[in-house]
Structure 1
């Protein structure tokens, strides 16, 4: 198998995973936009995360899937439409993809911190864990992600014949940029700092859950529901950390060798694609974690599906769009896509 055949094969593998991820995250968005879910800060955070993950999967598609599929005339030929699509996607879509990835990463960190406060500092939770504070933190994360990843617009440039060429990532001309920004700052803010926060917070949350198991019979019903939510979010964050661990390993290895390992060996290219697949797989699978671990999520999801067939049900007004008079808007409901 040559290099082009490998990239075509992996693109066909990515395609169904991304499609399932788009459906799953859209379903999660429909669930977390309902009034019962938006009452909690966790619901608000997961609502934002679903939107960010949808955007991430959309941005990933042209760069890592479409350009490698046999859909183009004169594929990989200079001045072809395919080469211009690849060059402009690398130049402009790739930085947006990295911004969205950072948003998703730090939203997971924020969710972990919220659970740590709720479980380990319950007396402070009512003051700190509010929807107002959550929105402020979410806006800060978006601004930080844009500012931190803005230099990536200068990573590549469009050369003669619509060839995508390294610009600031050219280690021979801009070695300082490669080491300081692409390696050191990226390792710190994309991997080390968020993983350190999640590891410490999750450790204390797990300890608190183990202690609460000893007195589980004395817990109120709401406390038990909160514990189940915490377990679900633990699974999400730990799975998230695992899927990003290999990317961190590749980044650290490149910092040690002082260059792009993917340019030295085809095996490193395969490993790099494996790290990308894990990130896509995690982004596409969160719906199944929510569905498997959260009874409330399952109940609302099933109600949303049933309500699309029973608009006259009073209970459905909780889940479906309403007009200014407070009645369910039938026209808007018909336009909404069905979740299968």
Structure 2
């Protein structure tokens, strides 16, 4: 999720007429992205509540909880530091927030990229685990354990944070005097490190393209194809499948849907980052076609972070059942009846024998 709001930095101010691009970004980010982000945050919170239920306790659920947390950070960052500032750029509203955002950007922007890195590698982690569980079931018992899953989640967190530490040195907020209003205004610009050609080539071209795109996306594409083949084989042998095997197949289908949507939504950002690295920023900001493309690629990232709850509900049978159990509780009216069980002890009354009337059990029973 690159920072591509036009006219944010001094090297683009005044170069091009960006009124059309600002209007396009206002509707795409300021309206659509904010609505999607609000829904996605609610959906991710609901997903965490459901996935934490005791019925859902397994290694895959831990990965999905971690993914929901990263997605929520991405959505919050998109809304607070990309979508809302666009409202000021296009309409002139929220001026105080916009100036506050200019000072927050150098610190909050790396947090968004940290969350996006965590999202990519968490998706990669549960895909590898699902591949082992489905395609190498004999290794699953020793590999797909809760303790190992927790260690992998911690490793992804630390690695994502360390990898994005240079991002904190990339931008800085400076003040300049606006000649038209004769006032001092804040502005975001690249630091000396951010403009260093060696840094840009090593970090953005070689390291970033390999670490953030080539490696994870190649793994995801190859393993997803293997999972799809395994599901087809399982469906052909559905009659012979046990209940546990059927649940595993259902879980695999749900995760395949998550992976496919992830690949589709994230692929445009690969091209966006390549263009952002190769071409001059002034040249890109003068192209309305690029601005529309990068706006939509960032919007696709938002969609990806917000849509998983829908996928869980559509493809996850157990997820739906637990969700209904938690949030849609109702008291069933069940047929009940009462019966009396007399004790078998009898007493002699001299002329006749009768059941003991003082010993009985009054029981309510319910058929489920």
TM-score by length of 2: 0.77
Find the counterpart in structure 2 of residue 267 from structure 1. 289
Say yes or no: does 1:129 pair with 2:144: yes
Conserved 8 A contact 1:37-1:44 = no
2:188 to 143, 164, 167: 164
Conserved 8 A contact 2:26-2:90 = no
Matches within 5 A, 1:1-340: 2-10=20-28, 11-38=30-57, 40-70=58-88, 81-160=96-175, 161-168=185-192, 173-257=195-279, 262-307=284-329
Counterpart-to-counterpart distance in 2, 1:155 and 1:234: 36
Q: CA deviation at 1:55?
A: 2.1
Find the counterpart in structure 2 of residue 330 from structure 1. none
Conserved 8 A contact 1:202-1:234 = yes
Unpaired stretches in structure 2, ≥5 consecutive residues:
1-18, 176-184, 332-368
Conserved 8 A contact 2:110-2:165 = yes
Q: CA deviation at 1:97?
A: 0.3
The structure carrying a bigger strand percent of its residues is: 2
Q: CA deviation at 1:48?
A: 1.7
Counterpart-to-counterpart distance in 2, 1:107 and 1:137: 9
Whose Rg is larger? 2
SS in 2 for 1:163: strand
Q: CA deviation at 1:251?
A: 2.2
Q: CA deviation at 1:255?
A: 4.5
Matched residue pairs, number? 303
